[in-house]
A and B are shown apart, each in its own frame.
Chain A
Amino acid sequence: MATPREVWQKAFSESSVRPGAYETMSGIPLEPVYGPDDGEFPGVYPYTRGPYASMYRSKLWTMRMFAGFGTADDTNKRFKDIINSGGDGLSTAFDMPTLLGLDSDDTMSLGEVGRCGVAIDTVEDMDDLYRDIDLGKITTSMTINSPAAVLLSMFIAQAERNGTPRARLGGTLQNDILKEYQAQKEFVFPPRQGMRLVRDTIAFTAAEMPKWHSVSISGYHIREAGSTAAEELAFTLANGFAYVELAAQTGLSVDAFAPRLSFFFNAHIDFFEEIAKYRAARRIWARWLKERYGATSERSLQLRFHTQTAGVSLTAQQPEVNIVRTAIEALAGVLGGTQSLHTNSMDEAMALPTERAARIALRTQQVIANETNVTAVADPLGGSWYVEELTNEMERRAEEIFADIEAFGNGSMLDGCINGIEENWFQSRIADSAYDLERKFNSGERIIVGVSQFLEGNDEDEIDLLRITNEDEQKQRRRLEAVRLSRNSAAVAESLAVLETEAADPEINLMPALINASNAQATVGEMMKSMGTVFGRHIEVPTI
């Protein structure tokens, strides 16, 4: 039987490797990975040390910068800046009304249009958003959840109108509704109806969009809402198991679906704990997919993830210091083997980033990628007694949480996640952990530079901030008004009636009706209301 090293060696020799010297600055030659022959290796089950044998020697992580503000035109310009600065992936941030499936002229949208992301009301906005960007070359990710099926349908309608068939579209839909109820709180429909839409997008993309990633299972928001690293790890993977069980209900085999899943983790400031978290995530996922869900394809077992540095670690005081925090967090993501990375900008404790701040954030990644030589050797911290023990401990803590969730669901992780949400279990645990950490900051047990200590410089002039004006809101409302006036309202009404009828039959996949409504220039709000008539609304019981 081949040793783990031999298995790795074979996979490595079959990988294409970027040309380079692969030596230290002083000329010491570097192996692609270090460790005993019978130990763990990257690209070898259970993938603790990385999903691929050659890791960054074959391909660096994608520098995927998250952006979106104002109107679709404004964001389209920022996207082009990112591409011109060397970013190689796009990630779209939508504004609060879009995240909640409301139109820009809804009374609840007052003051929120274009503030936290880009405002999208109809397929016309989607058209402007990606104008003159080659979606065949640049992959795009859309951070959207409750109305994910609606935005995907608009994306398809826009692309097909411009001559790109859906089968050729590559990208990622966040579409992780479970963490909305648990942490991010941009929910609309009740959990089981929300999961029906996730199911429909999974089944639709599996059948018609071979290059599309239908769910990006996101721990980022769970952590930002206040969880510990172990809770982020466990809740995220549990949600992943829930989607695997959901897809199985549609008749998809696990190997037809699991390769399309990707993950999204936070990179917080506790450097080694974060690296251990990523390593544990890969090991747990591989084992559960193989042993519990019967996956056999290697792609199903290899957990791939996007990382974002921790927004919550940024300070409004002495904002330039955030560049340092972000660099350290980004390095944790890279040493943990991330497949793509967003680095936050120094001004984001106060506002959306300026172009300059966003460029420095991208440059931070470019320094790590091109100057530090950390990309030469896979999992450089593997074998460290400290990191290996932390990895094992993360895994143990996650397994304890899985046991709780499984018990809530009487053996089903899918029911366990939904029941845990309905019982407020996830939400309470996150709030408890957030308060525990806050007390450590308040007691001085944990220090924040510029906030609790080292305050000299806090009174210096502030850096320039991006200002979103009410003018953008007015502009977007006028644009929506123009579409409403020029479209064929009979066709809109008919498409919405079909959507509502089909929503009432849980056997029907709603994607075709949504694409039809998008083509008719129905708005996000109209489509969400039509489904909401049938689905109802989720109301969270407020708890402190």
Chain B
Amino acid sequence: MTLRVLVAKIGLDGHDRGIKIVARLLRDAGMEVIYTGLFQTPDTVASAAIDEDVDVIGLSMLSGAHMTLAPLVVEALRSRGASIPVVVGGIVPRQDIPLLKAAGISEVLGPGAPGTAVVDTIRAAANAS
């Protein structure tokens, strides 16, 4: 079955080079990719993910707001009764990774993650759910 992935930018971070590369990598790996554009909120991402019935959500975060905003996406999903796995990628210091996982984030891809790791991580997150 083809995996459906929502890739999203939440908050005010306009850096969209990474998310577009990731979207193309996933698409070239045979997944269906939905990108909802810049300046989304945890609520709009959760709603879109449920409406689009995706298997995984990928959040691209480069502005340092990941500790505040990424857990809110997990909460927004839970409050809607959904349990879609959330993967965070971007500028995330290593010390923050266990904290994000404790807050319900499935996996974190740091700077320099190769394309194969991005694809494998998204697949693994989908299969684990």
Which residues of A come within 8 Å of B, CB atoms?
96-97, 99-100, 102, 108-112, 115-116, 184-187, 224-226, 312, 315-317, 349-352, 430-431, 434-435, 438-439, 441-442, 448, 450-452, 462, 465, 468, 470, 539-544
Interface flags for B111-128 (1: CB within 8 Å of A; 0: not) read 110111000000000000
B13 beta carbon closer than 8 Å to chain A: yes
Known: A111-B67, A115-B64, A542-B35. A351 touches B114 (CB 8 A): no
- Give the residue of B23, B68, B95 whose beta carbon is less than 8 angstroms from that of A111: B68
CB–CB B38/A111 < 8 A: no
Would you list 27 pairs from A and B whose C-beta atoms are within 8 A, ordered by A residue? A96-B11, A97-B12, A99-B12, A108-B11, A108-B12, A110-B65, A111-B11, A185-B14, A185-B16, A185-B38, A187-B14, A224-B17, A225-B17, A226-B17, A316-B110, A349-B112, A350-B111, A351-B93, A431-B20, A435-B21, A435-B24, A442-B114, A462-B93, A462-B94, A468-B64, A544-B23, A544-B24
Give the residue name and chain of the A residue nearest to B112 (CB): A451
- Give the residue of A109, A350, A468, A542 whose beta carbon is less than 8 angstroms from that of B37: A542
A173 to B93, CA, bound (A): 32
Give the residue name and chain of the A residue nearest to B20 (CB): A431
A465 to B122, CA, bound (A): 28
Known: A465-B93, A468-B64. A112 touches B37 (CB 8 A): no
B63 beta carbon closer than 8 Å to chain A: yes
Minimum distance in angstroms from B70 CB to a CB of chain A: 9
Give the residue name and chain of the A residue nearest to B115 (CB): A442
CB–CB A315/B112 < 8 A: yes
Minimum distance in angstroms from A536 CB to a CB of chain B: 15
Known: A452-B114, A544-B23. A350 touches B11 (CB 8 A): no
Minimum distance in angstroms from B68 CB to a CB of chain A: 3
Minimum distance in angstroms from B31 CB to a CB of chain A: 12
Q: With a CB–CB cut-off of 8 A, which chain A residues contact B35?
A: 542-544
Q: With a CB–CB cut-off of 8 A, which chain B residues contact A542?
A: 35-38
A187 to B95, CA, bound (A): 32
Apart from A226-B20, A435-B20, what 4 extra A-B contacts exist at CB < 8 Å?
Answer: A111-B68, A224-B17, A442-B115, A450-B112
CB–CB A115/B63 < 8 A: yes
Minimum distance in angstroms from A377 CB to a CB of chain B: 37
Give the residue name and chain of the A residue nearest to B64 (CB): A115
Q: With a CB–CB cut-off of 8 A, which chain A residues contact B93?
A: 350-351, 462, 465
* Majority DSSP secondary structure for residues of A touching B: loop
CB–CB B111/A96 < 8 A: no
CB–CB A442/B11 < 8 A: no
Minimum distance in angstroms from B90 CB to a CB of chain A: 11
Q: With a CB–CB cut-off of 8 A, which chain A residues contact B68?
A: 110-112, 470
The CB with the most chain B CB atoms within 10 A, among A439, A448, A542, is that of A542
B15 beta carbon closer than 8 Å to chain A: yes
B27 beta carbon closer than 8 Å to chain A: yes
Minimum distance in angstroms from A470 CB to a CB of chain B: 7
Which residues of B come within 8 Å of A, CB atoms?
11-17, 20-21, 23-25, 27, 33, 35-39, 41, 63-65, 67-69, 91, 93-95, 110-112, 114-116
Give the residue name and chain of the B residue nearest to A539 (CB): B37
Give the residue name and chain of the B residue nearest to A314 (CB): B111
Q: With a CB–CB cut-off of 8 A, which chain A residues contact B39?
A: 108
A352 to B39, CA, bound (A): 22
Minimum distance in angstroms from A89 CB to a CB of chain B: 25
Q: 9 smallest A-B Cβ distances: which pairs?
A: A111-B68, A185-B14, A542-B37, A115-B64, A111-B65, A96-B12, A316-B111, A442-B115, A544-B23
Give the residue name and chain of the B residue nearest to A431 (CB): B20
A224 to B33, CA, bound (A): 24
Q: With a CB–CB cut-off of 8 A, which chain B residues contact A438?
A: 21, 25, 115
CB–CB A96/B13 < 8 A: yes
Known: A110-B68, A544-B20, A544-B23. A185 touches B15 (CB 8 A): yes
Give the residue name and chain of the A residue nearest to B14 (CB): A185
CB–CB B36/A434 < 8 A: no
Give the residue name and chain of the A residue nearest to B117 (CB): A442
The CB with the most chain A CB atoms within 10 A, among B15, B69, B94, is that of B15
Minimum distance in angstroms from A431 CB to a CB of chain B: 5
A151 to B61, CA, bound (A): 26
A226 to B16, CA, bound (A): 10
Q: With a CB–CB cut-off of 8 A, which chain B residues contact A184?
A: 14
Q: With a CB–CB cut-off of 8 A, which chain B residues contact A430?
A: 17
Give the residue name and chain of the B residue nearest to A116 (CB): B63
CB–CB A351/B12 < 8 A: no
Minimum distance in angstroms from B112 CB to a CB of chain A: 4
A109 to B17, CA, bound (A): 22
The CB with the most chain A CB atoms within 10 A, among B12, B41, B110, is that of B12
CB–CB A434/B21 < 8 A: yes
Minimum distance in angstroms from A436 CB to a CB of chain B: 10
CB–CB A544/B12 < 8 A: no
A96 to B15, CA, bound (A): 11
A431 to B21, CA, bound (A): 8
A542 to B60, CA, bound (A): 15
Q: With a CB–CB cut-off of 8 A, which chain A residues contact B37?
A: 539-542
Minimum distance in angstroms from A190 CB to a CB of chain B: 15
CB–CB B11/A434 < 8 A: no
Q: With a CB–CB cut-off of 8 A, which chain B residues contact A110?
A: 11, 65, 68-69
Known: A97-B12, A112-B12. A350 touches B38 (CB 8 A): no
